[in-house]
Structure 1
Amino acid sequence: MIIVTTDAIPGREIRDIIGMVKGSTVQSKHIGKDFMAGLKTIVGGEIKEYTDMLNEAREKAIERMVDEARNTGANAIVGMRLQSSSVMQGASEIIAYGTAVWID
């Protein structure tokens, strides 16, 4: 599956636009990670526990979007975007979305 953030793929022709596809996940903070993050705010620096959690969430959301695109018969996704939002205190949704297409 080719995934691009642009509306076209250089050197390839879009033969069919299938439609929007998306994948999402909601991640919540882990009490142990939250404790470690709290300590990190005292001394400063990257909060690796949250970086890892959000990277994992993005990967899950993209994987689910790709699965949806494959189920529609697409072989590429153009205009892919990632977005996040808070759904409640301590939990965030990550959504990946784009346009499923068939390319030559």
Structure 2
Amino acid sequence: MDLNKHDMTKKMIYTNTEMVPGREISEVLGVVTGNVVQTKHVGKDILAVLRSVVGGEITGYTQMLTEARQKAISRMVIAARELDADAVVSLRFTTISIMTNASEILAYGTAVKLKD
């Protein structure tokens, strides 16, 4: 993927709705995806076990998953730019356990062109 081909200054619209408010879709370009496989840090696992005993948020995992979602979105946006899309609609996320201590987060949606 050559990032230099893409105008990285162009803001990409992405939304979980089927349309962009106030804009009309002129063309559907196809499904775009972005994913990341994230592993757990052994130290975080130990802290998670301790936290599960006393209760509360496991902030290390929250931060890890937030960063993973952002990476997945970024990769999806790059895929949409490769199609010369103006926006991604119907954004969704899914996650799956790949192996012990590793999960994939997938962001996907429909790349579209918008009328001017």
TM-score higher than 0.5 here? yes
Aligned to 1:84: 95
What stretches of structure 1 move > 3 A for 4+ residues in a row? Answer: none
Gaps of 5+ in 2: 1-11
When the two structures are superposed, what TM-score results if normalisation uses the length of structure 1? 0.96
Write the letter of the residue equivalent to 2:113.
W
Aligned residues: 104
Aligned to 1:47: 58
Distance 1:64 1:31 in 2: 27
- 1:3 deviates by 0.6
Aligned to 1:72: 83
Deviations 1:3-55 (A, max 9, x none): 11111112101111110000000101001111111111111100111111111
Are residues 1:30 and 2:51 paired?
no
Gaps of 5+ in 1: none
